[in-house]
Chains A and B, each alone.
Chain A
């Protein structure tokens, strides 16, 4: 027994010294950190987009200006809220959210609320005096070391036409004149600085006659490439300005259309914000607590996360085991090892040692994830902690451990046996192919099982030992029948023991052999004969 430990310790220690190990451990948190910070940095680094707006009709310029201003205010409000959250002293201790009581999140409803409420919030914000009065109001609550509030940059800036271009020409004429600026060959002067012209929005004088309504034949004519408003830009990737202008202009057009048809636009907005509430309730829960809470949602979907984690962990570790075995076989160190330890002790040492390496890696990723979330933002981590609490209380973690151990032993045994039979990685890949096909199934069914946890597919798959850990884990939240739980577990135990015993035999016989790995029939004869 202690020999198995010595072998395991060596595997772990040697692996921990390699560069690859540390890179794998660090790369995950680094990637997360990078993606969080870099994307926000990139956003800030985007240059201001200068654009020219020439409204030949005189009807739409106001609407565009207004829309861009609202965009800015929305951003401002968001930034203020963020600033307040980070820098205001919390009056009474930590915020304690109870996921049991928090209503479930429905993405569609959320989007609606955001779109609706926001406009009202912005209106109020502006009415109350905008940025300056908001800052005044916050001042008494700010923490001592709070930084200055930095107003977010406006992404788009309207600039006047460069000198020498006549604003009364047709869009085509103005476009021709602007082309050198749009192409970057010439630069415009803004506030004394020389800058690039990003885009030009040219509205023809007869734009209102070019409006298309349903049933309009003109809509179907493909030759009308330059109809309507022309948006000129050589930057095809950044479509934000185009989208904003399109939205702004179309909202104005529609507002006018409502008016023309005798409908009050304010009434339209009121109608759009009308909705019927829909409550999601769970019949299985106690009376009075039937509302589907966020905790329920977490419980429902957490198993999927677990299954994924389980799959990745088992697969990665089993692969490492395979590589390790083949390496030891090919550098012939296995023989001198076998004069000091029995094949059984060697197998056990490897199973444990390599598992330790893999678990350290996976564990460090989880820790890194939790760590980063804790460090980076405020209230969100409280949610995360609550999530963790839910998970712990529901017993999912213990199930995870049990299924992980059994699933790992099952697959690790198989991979070890394959590794002992093969001399090169290439031979091993060939032998692995059927195993890979088997292993893909849990991944493919991962998203379907929670939707129908006790249905035929789920039940049948649960009874197949290679799949039991994944499928049963996935079904865990839906309370599968006790009979199935115990039955599949027992079957898994027996099968795993069998696999380990068989692998042990194969390992013992194959580990010293060089030469072609035996075919299946030969293998059977071997095992019988030994």
Chain B
């Protein structure tokens, strides 16, 4: 079942196209990463999905409904700019947001305490939020967004501002969620997080969609790279069918960078080296990362775009 469907959705602010003809869908039970540089239109798209903004063109459907507000109790949202009521107690805020999503007061209170305890905030449950550090505050906000146990959770930049330990806790929360069949959509511009937990990724830049597929598919867009170091003559390697390109690297004497074909197996290159008696000081074969995918697809454009 498609939890979310966007069909040629655009958003114009005056003449400025913040989102340009974006289409994609999100399947039930998946974890989708929504990637893109600053100012790409991620937050605007998410706001349109949630019904906070109305699209200028196109159609959005959430759980089959034309507006997320109709199904608001089934959705949880963590916005990009995070804020809390300073003077409210921590448990009270989590419970309040749960009640706004249709949970009755007593259950909300119980859930609030449970969640706070499970994720290490038991001691702060009765304190005012102004007593929390930034990272703790952010955890509280995540919990507030999911306290009503929604089927579909949308998180905008959930990892920003969290230290590595808390980032891991957050990944755990997301994984717990998906493990129970819930759907997660989160945006980030830190690729490592996406790599670790997403099933699918969406890449958007300057309002346009650049990539939509599984991580494997994304990584496949990057040529595989191989770095070797040898004092011997490596020229024969360039003749290999696997090798697309070979260039000397400035990194160190005798270092060469080889670009391999898509489905090429680096082991063949290694075998060839042995056969020819090329002694290797270094054989670095690293899998491409989403980071590289990102920079490659977005790089030059992102540089041009004004700092937004």
Contacts and interface: CB of A to CB of B under 8 A. Distances in A.
Residue picked from A17, A334, A336, A339, most chain B C-beta under 10 Å: A339
B81 A332 contact: yes
Given A14-B88, A341-B100, A336 B144 contact: yes
A334 B82 CA distance: 10
Contacts of B205: none
In this complex, the interface size class of chain A, counting residues with CB under 8 Å from chain B, is 20 to 34
B248 interface: no
A269 interface: no
Contact of B100 (A3, A18, A332, A512): A3
Main secondary structure of the interface of A (DSSP, over half): helix
Nearest to B43: A335
A436 B77 CA distance: 39
B145 A336 contact: yes
Contact of A338 (B52, B86, B101): B52
A332 B47 CA distance: 14
B72 A331 contact: no
B96 interface: yes
Contacts of B83: 331-336
Interface in B54-85: 68-69, 72, 75, 77-85
Interface string A338-352: 111110000000000
A502 B303 CA distance: 41
A337 interface: yes
Contacts of B53: 512
Given A332-B81, A339-B75, A14 B87 contact: yes
Contact of B52 (A6, A331, A512): A512
Given A339-B50, A342-B69, A512-B52, A333 B85 contact: yes
A24 B79 CA distance: 36
A144 to B, nearest CB: 54
Contacts of A7: 100
A75 interface: no
Contacts of B80: 335
A6 B104 CA distance: 11
Interface string A311-335: 0000000000000000000011111
Interface string A10-27: 100010011000000000
Nearest to B99: A6
B13 to A, nearest CB: 10
Given A3-B100, A512-B52, A336 B72 contact: no
Contacts, number: 58
Contacts of B79: 332, 335-336, 339
B186 interface: no
A7 B83 CA distance: 17
B161 to A, nearest CB: 13
Nearest to A530: B54
A320 to B, nearest CB: 15
Residue picked from B68, B78, B81, B145, most chain A C-beta under 10 Å: B81
B138 interface: no
A333 B69 contact: no
B144 A10 contact: no
Nearest to B84: A333
Residue picked from A17, A334, A336, most chain B C-beta under 10 Å: A336
Nearest to A331: B83
Contacts of A334: 83
Given A339-B77, A342-B69, A331 B84 contact: yes
A339 B52 contact: yes
Interface string B135-169: 00000010011000000000000000000000000
A414 to B, nearest CB: 24
B128 to A, nearest CB: 10
Interface in A35-54: none
Given A3-B100, A512-B52, A340 B85 contact: no
A336 B141 CA distance: 9
B119 to A, nearest CB: 18
B294 interface: no
A5 to B, nearest CB: 10
A472 to B, nearest CB: 39
Contacts of A341: 100
Interface string A116-130: 000000000000000
Contacts of A340: 72, 77, 97, 100-101
Contacts of B50: 338-339
A526 to B, nearest CB: 10
A339 B144 contact: no
A208 B245 CA distance: 130
A338 B83 CA distance: 13
Nearest to A334: B83
A190 B51 CA distance: 88
Given A336-B78, A336-B144, A340-B72, A331 B100 contact: no
A336 B75 CA distance: 12
A17 B97 CA distance: 19
Interface string A172-205: 0000000000000000000000000000000000
A6 B80 CA distance: 24
Nearest to A18: B87
Nearest to A3: B100
B86 A331 contact: yes
A-B complex: 9 closest residue pairs judged by Cβ atoms:
A332-B83, A339-B77, A331-B83, A340-B100, A335-B79, A333-B83, A332-B81, A339-B50, A338-B52
13 contacts: A10-B96, A331-B84, A332-B82, A333-B83, A335-B47, A335-B52, A335-B83, A336-B79, A339-B51, A339-B72, A340-B72, A340-B97, A341-B100
Interface of B: 47, 50-53, 68-69, 72, 75, 77-88, 96-97, 99-101, 141, 144-145
Given A14-B87, A332-B81, A340-B72, 15 more contacts: A6-B100, A14-B88, A17-B87, A331-B84, A331-B85, A332-B82, A333-B83, A333-B84, A334-B83, A335-B80, A336-B79, A336-B141, A338-B52, A339-B51, A339-B72
